[in-house]
Amino acid sequence: MTDPSHAHRPAHTMDARHPRALFPALAAPDSRPTIGILALQGDVREHSLALEAAGARPVVVRRAADLGEAPGHRLDGLVIPGGESTTMSTLLVAFEMLAPLRELIGAGLPAYGSCAGMIMLADRVEGAQEGQAFLGGIDMTVRRNAFGRQVDSYEEDLIAPQLDARPDRPLRAIFIRAPWVEEVGPGVEILATTRAGRAAGVGGADGGRIVAVRQGSLLATSFHPEVGGDHRVHDVFVSMVTRRA
């Protein structure tokens, strides 16, 4: 005999115990690129929010195991926040992350470094401490603390079309004990320079200082775009990651 309680149940109705009813994520896997944030120093939370706004899935990287290829842990890109470059170098060595990161970056992993992160991605660094180790990857010479000490930190509106920063909507750049780029190799693209009035001297075509560059899958800025809540630089980086994926 047919159970009356089931007589009028539509054939296509999904039972509440179906896996997709219990776990909706099974029906909609996360297709966003996974971008790690090196969480040794710096604005990890702010970078995470900016990456989410730019359409990526941020994850925290604190140890070498977080760089692995296990399911759910593969990184499509990496952000190296600001901080203090000598301390960052020391921690990378202590946590046995320096060599794995160099290998990943050398193999083409997209990486974005802000402030101290720019220093870490430079092939040559002026003012470095003796024995200080860097990741390298961008054919440039960077000067540490070039804009001065913390009390000399400042902000400036940048016009940088390749970062979607136009005269009617400039990019507010926040410099905190920031480096600048002294020179770049032929394969490096200059994305932004300061105005000549603030940091006159060697640098861009207008006499300003080079503060944003790109080479291949690597991006670096002297300033902290994450601090002001502007995610246009992160938009550019996520696009670089997506194109490579």
Q: Which residues are catalytic?
A: 115, 224, 226
Q: Is 144 annotated as a binding residue?
A: yes
Amino acid making up residue 30: D
Q: Is 239 annotated as a binding residue?
A: no
Q: Count the neighbouring beta carbons within 10 Å of the beta carbon of residue 96.
A: 11
Q: Is 119 annotated as a binding residue?
A: no
Residue 238 phi/psi, 5-degree rounding, is -60, -35
CA distance 143 to 85: 12
How many helices (H) and strands (E) the chain has is answered by 6, 12
Amino acid making up residue 211: V
The C-alpha torsion from 124 through 126 and 128 to 131, rounded to 10°, is 50
Q: Is 136 annotated as a binding residue?
A: no
* 3-class DSSP assignment, residue 223: coil
Q: Are 153 and 169 in contact (CB under 8 A)?
A: no
Q: Is 83 annotated as a binding residue?
A: yes
Burial class (CB in 10 A: 0-12, 13-18, 19+), 28: exposed
Q: Which residue is listed with tokens 């105005």?
A: 195
Q: Is 80 annotated as a binding residue?
A: no
Annotated binding site for L-glutamine: 83-85, 144, 176-177
